[in-house]
Chain A
Amino acid sequence: MIVNTKNVEDKDFDIKRSADELRNLSFKDHVCIGCGICETTCPVEAISVGDVAAILRSNASDSKLSIDEDKCVLCGMCSGLCPANALVLSINGVNIADIPAYPKYESYAEIDEDKCIYCQRCEIACPREAITIARSLPDRSKLVTGEIEVLDEECVHCGICEELCPADAILVNRTPGAESIAIDKDKCVYCLVCKKSCPTTAIKASCRICSYGDYDIDPADAATKGSAFIDDELCINCGWCEGVCPTEAAKVKKPFTGTLEIHQDVCTVCGTCVDICPCDVLSFPEPTAPAQIVENVGKDEEYCIKCGACEKACPVNAIEVNVTAVDYTPTKSKSWIEKLEALKN
């Protein structure tokens, strides 16, 4: 007799089958985005996704999905097709994503540390809080002066340099008609982050250590050091990090391509989709006048992964997500290919 065992811990659970090999399917609720792909894919109809929007809004203690352990055969399809990493099947302790016979999405998110200036914009933008940027600033006592100036005629007062400056040395006034930029040279560490991030060429800066070499100080002391880390478990490859990165250090490849459409005539602006979207793609537009009535939901498709969570959650079926292509690694299994191709509609 082969019997599956289930081990529940808060909202998470593990389903195990232990015979010749040990299969373990683990579900992590905080990673689940509620897209429902597992429910429609499961070949034995063992998975049911709860009312994710209600769970999210009420902070209920329910798990976003449940699996009937008596029906589950631990085939791993839900794990292979989960666009987040909420369901993970491991065989003898090895994640099936690391077993070549199993297909997986061709998607990734990575930060090139050679280009990264550790400005932390991606960390702030990441809707999943998957990115950790640690940075250490150059110690002023180890630095000498440098030169920095701003060409007023080129500066567009966008404020990126102010936002990125690790030393809080830049002050940009963006009030229309009174734009200005000021640099506090007492605070500047001449790390050149502002110069690298400036979308125009308004900032001219150089560090004496780097440029002249006249001083007996290690040039390495002048650089902002740090580390960039993406938590693969939480990351859903939405592309926010790539979109906000000032130095093109972050690169993202999404698993699906397709379209997202909101039928504004049907939409009741209830905000369910805004709450559920894992990529912060859907939002209420900023009001432009006091007491303005919000008439529609806005979307920013650039960061949409076409997971379909909003479509599933919308109470009035106003959202249409169409997946036109799915990128996955090759597999010989016809049934797996069939399921992956069925994600398109």
Chain B
Amino acid sequence: MPSHICSGLKYLATIELKSNGYSQREIANELAINRSTVSHYLNGRNLSWNSIDVAKTVTQLSPKDFLILTQSLFKDLQMTQKIISICKIRNYEAEVSDTCIGCGLCVDLCLMKAVSLDSLKANIDSIKCCGCLICLEGCPTDSIKILEVFNDRKYKKR
């Protein structure tokens, strides 16, 4: 069953990328699947619609649940980061206040690798941030604020 949900998530990612103008080959590269699978997904073949429903529910969970569930399904951090980046519904922006002591705990906690330290202060990449708030919960000085923002940012190739 977990692998079916993974396929469901990949299906959702495929559809999202397609709507962003990705070619089949680019999608295959991006998600590390072969092109015939991409073609199957796009033509709605070889898929259990039930798995897709479950996958859709997963993406609609709170960002933290979506992230942790995806990581425990895929057990592959890179793939998790990719799926979350493509399928996340909302965008976020982080504010770090001057009370930050530069302990780097958020850097270690962030599964999306969105945080880095710059001159003893955390620097959070809004594009990578998935809004899970794990950094905020772990911050010893309550220096992090994550704000939901509205924009039409689309997943972009790197």
- Interface size for B (C-beta < 8 A) is 18
B108 partner residues in chain A, CB cutoff 8 A: 2, 17, 19-21
Are A75 and B119 CB-contacts (below 8 A) given A17-B108, A43-B141? Answer: no
B105 partner residues in chain A, CB cutoff 8 A: 2, 17, 73-74
| Cβ 8 A contact of A101, one of B99, B103, B120, B141 | B120
CB of A332 within 8 Å of the partner chain = yes
B117 partner residues in chain A, CB cutoff 8 A: 101
CB of B121 within 8 Å of the partner chain = yes
Most A CB contacts (10 A, CB to CB) among B103, B109, B121 go to B103
Q: How far is the CB of A210 from chain B (nearest CB, A)?
A: 55
Query: Contacts A2-B138, A23-B104, A102-B120 given; 7 further ones with Cβ under 8 A?
Result: A17-B108, A74-B103, A75-B101, A331-B119, A333-B101, A333-B119, A335-B100
18 residue pairs bridging A and B, Cβ less than 8 Å apart: A2-B109, A17-B108, A19-B107, A19-B108, A21-B107, A43-B101, A43-B140, A75-B101, A75-B102, A75-B140, A102-B120, A332-B121, A333-B120, A333-B121, A335-B99, A335-B102, A336-B101, A336-B102
A44 partner residues in chain B, CB cutoff 8 A: 140
| Cβ 8 A contact of A335, one of B101, B109, B138 | B101
Cα of A332 to Cα of B138 in the assembled complex, Å: 23
Cα of A102 to Cα of B100 in the assembled complex, Å: 13
4 nearest A-B pairs in the assembled complex, by CB-CB distance: A75-B103, A19-B108, A333-B120, A334-B98
For the complex, would chain B's binding face be called helix, strand, loop or mixed by DSSP majority? Answer: loop
B102 partner residues in chain A, CB cutoff 8 A: 75-76, 101, 333, 335-336
Cα of A73 to Cα of B101 in the assembled complex, Å: 10
Q: How far is the CB of A24 from chain B (nearest CB, A)?
A: 13
Are A20 and B107 CB-contacts (below 8 A) given A43-B141, A331-B119, A332-B120? Answer: yes
CB of A203 within 8 Å of the partner chain = no
Listed in ascending order, the chain A residues whose CB lies under 8 Å from chain B are 2, 17, 19-21, 23, 43-44, 73-77, 91, 101-102, 331-336
Cα of A11 to Cα of B134 in the assembled complex, Å: 35
Residue of A nearest to B98 (CB): A334
Q: How far is the CB of A7 from chain B (nearest CB, A)?
A: 19
B98 partner residues in chain A, CB cutoff 8 A: 334-335
Q: How far is the CB of B36 from chain A (nearest CB, A)?
A: 37
Q: How far is the CB of B108 from chain A (nearest CB, A)?
A: 4
Cα of A91 to Cα of B107 in the assembled complex, Å: 13
Cα of A74 to Cα of B98 in the assembled complex, Å: 18
**A-contact bits for B73-115, CB 8 A (1 contact / 0 none):** 0000000000000000000000000111111110111000000
Q: How far is the CB of B143 from chain A (nearest CB, A)?
A: 8
Most B CB contacts (10 A, CB to CB) among A20, A73, A336 go to A73
Q: How far is the CB of A328 from chain B (nearest CB, A)?
A: 13
Residue of B nearest to A103 (CB): B120
Cα of A2 to Cα of B120 in the assembled complex, Å: 20
B120 A74 Cβ-Cβ under 8 A: no
Cα of A331 to Cα of B100 in the assembled complex, Å: 13
Cα of A101 to Cα of B100 in the assembled complex, Å: 14
